[in-house]
Structure 1
Amino acid sequence: MESKRQQKFAGVLQEELAAIFQREGAAYLPNTLVTITKVRVSSDLAVAKVYLSFLNTNNTSLSVATVNAHAGEIRYKLGSRIRHQARIVPTLSFFVDDTNEYVEHMDKIFDKISKDRKDTDQEG
């Protein structure tokens, strides 16, 4: 369970990272929209796990690897934006947020189940 302090700091990081990706995301991933879906911060606020969602990309693992390759540069830009709000700038690790893919997969399963039920109801 995250403390209020962690949640508040994660919210600040999410906002600032979203602004960075909105302005300069095209430099890392041209023609790809990057959304920060979730930020988890360690209890000492030194490490942040950032979950990303991508639009207009065929290979999400390559996209997240590209963003991770630029993590130091992104951290520097983040530091210049939050330097008055935080004592330390957390180390950033980026991950793919596959929640949407999971939801779509589950929707397909439920649709198949309801279709199978209708077929068996009509037969019986």
Structure 2
Amino acid sequence: MGIESKRQQRFAGVIQQDLAELFQREGNSWAPGAFITVTKVRVTPDLAIARVYLSFLNTKTAKEDLEQIRKKTTEIRFKLGTRIKNQARIVPQLEFFLDDTNEYVEHMDKLFDEISKETRQPD
């Protein structure tokens, strides 16, 4: 994806903030027990599609939780629309993706720990 315009970045920020508040309030009904964070939002140049990256904490079933949220996309989009109706002409289609950056970081940390624990061979 190319460089985003200021307009795209500003609109993505509005969506990210409002979705974060929605997930904070109602996320437990969509993914029980999980703490959901909106890590990133990317918006197409025509502002018609918003790609939302979610991170799930306190859950072992992040992929299943993501599927539950995808099933509720229409409901989430409607609730988002009521929040941003004065700031946007159209409510973008929402596409949800799993942001597994935290898992990747944890995996890399474990690898580095294992490497540092190995006995050093003299050169």
User: After TM superposition, is the score higher than 0.5?
Assistant: yes
The CA distance in 2 between the partners of 1:120 and 1:29, in whole Å, is: 46
Of the candidates 50, 57, 60, which is equivalent to residue 58 of structure 1?
60
Task: Work out whether 1:6 is the aligned partner of 2:8.
Answer: yes
Q: Quote the residue 2:27 is aligned against.
A: 25
Give unmatched runs, 5+ long, in structure 2: none
Work out the number of aligned pairs and report it: 121
Q: Quote the residue 2:116 is aligned against.
A: 114
Q: Quote the residue 2:107 is aligned against.
A: 105
Q: Quote the residue 1:92 is aligned against.
A: 94
Cα deviation for residue 114 of structure 1 reads 2.4
Q: Quote the residue 2:83 is aligned against.
A: 81
Identity level (%): 59
Report which of the two has the higher share of helix: 1
Name the TM-score, length of structure 2 as normaliser: 0.92
The CA distance in 2 between the partners of 1:69 and 1:82, in whole Å, is: 21
Cα deviation for residue 83 of structure 1 reads 0.4
Q: Deviations over 1:59-104 (max 9, x none)?
A: 1110000000000000000000000000010000111100001111
Tell which structure's C-alpha radius of gyration is larger.
Answer: 1
The CA distance in 1 between the partners of 2:80 and 2:54, in whole Å, is: 16
Name the aligned partner's letter for residue 74 of structure 2: G
The CA distance in 1 between the partners of 2:17 and 2:43, in whole Å, is: 14
What's the C-alpha RMSD, in Å, of the aligned pairs?
1.3
Give unmatched runs, 5+ long, in structure 1: none
Cα deviation for residue 54 of structure 1 reads 0.8
Q: Quote the residue 2:37 is aligned against.
A: 35
SS in 2 for 1:50: strand
